[in-house]
Structure formats: C-alpha cells, structure tokens
Copies of this chain bind each other. A is one copy, B any other.
Amino acid sequence: MTPFNKLPMEKVFRDPIHNYIHVADPLILELINTKEFQRLRRIKQLGTTSFTFHGAEHSRFGHSLGVYEITRRICDSFHRHYSIKNDPENGWDHQEKKIALCAALLHDIGHGPYSHTFESIFNTDHEQITVEIITSEQTEVNQILKQVSPDFPDQVASVIQKTYHNPQVVQLISSQVDADRMDYLLRDAYYTGTEYGSFDLTRILRVIRPYKNGITFHMNGMHAVEDYIVSRYQMYMQVYFHPVSRGMEVILDHLLKRAKILFREDPSYFKQQSQLIVPFLKNEFSLTDYLKLDDGILLANFTLWSEHPDAILSDLAKRFLNRKPLKSVAFNPETEKYLTELKGLIKKVGFDIEYYTAINSSFDLPYDFYHPAENRHRTQIELYQPDGTLIELSQASELVNALAGKTSGDQRFYFPKEMLASHQSDTYTLFEDKINAFNRYLKNGAIISD
C-alpha cells in the first residue's frame, strides 16, 4: 500500500493455504519477478482436473510459492532445533538454506501447458527444461542465480536432479514426504473443495528432523505421517485419477496427435495460424519457443482449429473447449480380451477408433520402501525413536503397511458417449442393435467378467 518506499525487511504474499508466504531474501523476490517464473501464472496446476472439479483452476505459480514457503519453514526449524553446530553428525547446516529455497521455488519452472499430455505427444521433458532454465545463460532466472556465485545455478539444478551432495537438501525437495508433495496435496484439496488431501502440516513441521542421510520424523509424530500417506492415497484415488478428467485428457491427446499428423501432410495452415505451435509440430524447438507456451496459447489455437476443414481436428477441438469427455469403463487383465469386440462395435457405429477410443491407465504406488535388489527406488520414510535409532514407517503403521509396495488405480477403456444405451440420441435410433450389444458388455462401471 506504500509502494514507493524501500523494500521492507520482509515481503509477504497472501496465500489461501499458508496464510502468508514470507520472503526476506531479495534474491527470492527477484526470482519471482522473472518472466520465466511469472509465466507459471498462465499454466494450470491440475490440467484437465478442473473439468471435473471446477474450483481447481489454480496455476503452478501459487504452488511454487507454497513449496518455497514450506521449505523455508522447515529450514528455519532445522536451524533453530537441529543446528550442525550442536550435532555435527546429524545436524542441519544453515548455509544450505539459500540453495534449498531456490530449488524449492524453481522445481517446477520447466512445466508447460497440460504437461502430462503435451510431453507424451511432443517429447518434451519438464524436468530437463527446468534444469535448462536454471543453467542456460539466456534466462533471467540464470542471471539472478549467478549473482550468488558462478556455479550456483548448477548447484540448484543438481538439487532438482538429486545429485547434490547433501541428502537433506535433496530430500526436502524430493522424497516421499517432501515440500512439493505437502504443498500440492493441501493446495489441490483446498481448490477442489474435497477434504481428503488435508493432513496436519503443523504437526509434521514439528516432528520433521534432519539426520546424516536425509530427513526423518520423530516417532511421536508417526500418526501425522501416516495421515499424510493416507491423504495422498485418497487424493490419487478420488481426484487425480478421476475418470472424467482422464476422459478429457484422452481428447487432448488425440487432438494434439491429429494436429501433428495434419502438419506432416500440409504444414501451411499451421505455419500461418499456429506459428507458436509449429516448432513442436516440427519437433525442432528451442528453449525460447518453449517459454512462449502457456495454457492460453494452446486454447487459442484450439479455438482456431475448431474451424479447421479436417472434421476430426475441428470436432476434437470443440470437444475439448466445450467439455465433451469420452466416457469409460474399467477393465482388468481378465476382461481386456473384450476390447477388440467393443472397438469393433464402435467402428460399426461409425467412429474412427483411433481418435474416439482410448486406453488410459492410472496407477500410483502410495508408499514404497527400500528394495535392495532394485536399482531405482524411492527413499523410504524413517521414524526417529527416542533412543536415536530409526524405524521404517510401514513397520510402525498398520495403515501404511496395508498400502506399502502396492500399486493402486485402474485401467479404463474410453469411448464416445453415443455408445451408451441410456444416451438418447439419433445415433441410438440408427444403431440400436450395435449399441445394445455394446452395453451388454458393461456392468457396475466395468467390463463384465464371465
């Protein structure tokens, strides 16, 4: 409100999840003000999920501030309670705070619009682009980080790549209970209006502590960590894997795929109308090209494409803009065999099955523990007992034990709404027998088993 005074001691951002985001270091403020970071305001956090949970229209900007804020609170608590000065073996080195905060703030900066789908079609990789934004001399982010020291950008990037020498810093940013996951669960729960994602952040911040190989949690906070794992599981089952959002995701996937094929056949339309997309359709894009993208660019192109002469491209573009998801049923290894027959019926009704059907699998591992035989594993969660020994979480929690090491989720077959017997349409009148045949395979939301 007094905008022309000197930068106050501390700047705050009002945040619905953390109340205030506190910024005391001018470096952080400068990073937030870069064009690469401001661009995150134009990229939705949850992509097609807002088609199911209309409240969840928040961007990656707020989430990035949130991850920063949780990291800041943990660093300050570590410094106050577990300084390396008092505990040289297991303590926290306050010098690491700056690098941890920068990595937290920037961990998602490489995300583009509808990342999940976009990446699978255009072979982009947001983690690799994150590293590039941090280390490339072209970016404002890099210029600011270099003010700290010439190798600071590389150090920040190494935290995100999990190669940084201090495992405490790495695990704050990415592990099974990291600042990233803690923020997105709370934030996505808030914006969707569901309560599954809420867990006791204050208590977790009280019981988290560093040790020489990373981070751990006091034994007496076991139930708070357990509750976090359960919340995470429930958010995946109820929100992130929601069948309707996935029904929009497959529309997007097919739409982008169709554009790519049409571009190969005749690039002229796209060169004129969709110049910002062309580098990706060609698969020759620079960091500059990538940084121009956002949700609005894609949607603006879909508005144009909805009048494209190609019937499939324009239909899919309209379905995406006007929220007309494909419908779905679950299937399993046993019932997978009927997919061929189902697709046959859809084809007979007149749909191009390449563009109007899809298989979508969504599976998550709610909690993983150490598998010595495997090369790649997630860091297991460990609890710190009063006598200083550690115990792995699933050993202490029956609930976590129930979820540990098991994948959860489902595999669904997507198809046009017109195939449903209950959908009153001209299609039904014309193809009554085909559609009835199709529906006889379905029961209780799944392909029927024998």
Q: Counting CB contacts under 8 A, is A3 at the interface? A: yes
Inter-chain contacts of A7 with B (CB < 8 A): 422
A38 and B303 within 8 A (CB): no
Residues A50 and B54 in contact in the complex (CB < 8 Å), given A19-B202, A196-B223: no
Q: Counting CB contacts under 8 A, is A329 at the interface? A: yes
Nearest B residue to A324 by beta-carbon distance? B33
Q: Counting CB contacts under 8 A, is A199 at the interface? A: yes
Inter-chain contacts of A33 with B (CB < 8 A): 322-323
Q: Counting CB contacts under 8 A, is A398 at the interface? A: yes
User: Once bound together, how far apart are the Cα atoms of A314 and B421, in whole Å?
Assistant: 54
Q: Counting CB contacts under 8 A, is A175 at the interface? A: no
Inter-chain contacts of A6 with B (CB < 8 A): 422
Inter-chain contacts of A202 with B (CB < 8 A): 19-20
Q: What is the minimal beta-carbon distance from A202 to any residue of chain B, in angstroms?
A: 5
Q: Counting CB contacts under 8 A, is A144 at the interface? A: no
Interface flags for A56-74 (1: CB within 8 Å of B; 0: not) read: 0111011001000000000
Q: What is the minimal beta-carbon distance from A104 to any residue of chain B, in angstroms?
A: 16
Inter-chain contacts of A39 with B (CB < 8 A): 321
Q: Counting CB contacts under 8 A, is A5 at the interface? A: yes
B54 and A15 within 8 A (CB): yes
Inter-chain contacts of A395 with B (CB < 8 A): none
A444 and B385 within 8 A (CB): yes
Residues A399 and B399 in contact in the complex (CB < 8 Å), given A195-B199, A296-B299: yes
Q: What is the minimal beta-carbon distance from A68 to any residue of chain B, in angstroms?
A: 12
User: Once bound together, how far apart are the Cα atoms of A248 and B84, in whole Å?
Assistant: 39
Inter-chain contacts of A402 with B (CB < 8 A): 398-399, 401-403
B198 and A195 within 8 A (CB): yes
A299 and B1 within 8 A (CB): no
Q: Counting CB contacts under 8 A, is A431 at the interface? A: no
Per the 8 Å Cβ criterion, residues 195-231 of A in contact with B are: 195-196, 198-200, 202, 206, 219-220, 223, 226-227, 230
Q: Counting CB contacts under 8 A, is A91 at the interface? A: no
User: Once bound together, how far apart are the Cα atoms of A444 and B3, in whole Å?
Assistant: 10
Q: Counting CB contacts under 8 A, is A16 at the interface? A: yes
Contact count band on A: 35 or more
A14 and B58 within 8 A (CB): no
Nearest B residue to A35 by beta-carbon distance? B322
Residues A322 and B38 in contact in the complex (CB < 8 Å), given A59-B57, A276-B303: yes
Q: Counting CB contacts under 8 A, is A9 at the interface? A: yes
Inter-chain contacts of A59 with B (CB < 8 A): 54, 57
B443 and A387 within 8 A (CB): yes
Inter-chain contacts of A19 with B (CB < 8 A): 193, 202
A327 and B191 within 8 A (CB): no
B195 and A200 within 8 A (CB): yes
Residues A243 and B1 in contact in the complex (CB < 8 Å), given A196-B223, A294-B299: yes
Binds B, one of A156-164, A232-240, A250-258, A342-350: A232-240
B16 and A41 within 8 A (CB): no
B54 and A61 within 8 A (CB): yes
B206 and A20 within 8 A (CB): yes
CB pairs A–B below 8 angstroms (29 shown): A3-B420, A4-B445, A5-B422, A9-B81, A14-B53, A14-B54, A14-B193, A17-B55, A20-B202, A20-B206, A34-B322, A41-B57, A42-B299, A57-B59, A57-B62, A195-B198, A195-B227, A227-B234, A272-B272, A296-B297, A296-B299, A297-B299, A300-B301, A386-B443, A386-B445, A387-B443, A398-B402, A398-B403, A401-B402
Per CB-CB distance, the 3 closest pairs between chain A and chain B, nearest first, are A402-B402, A296-B296, A16-B193
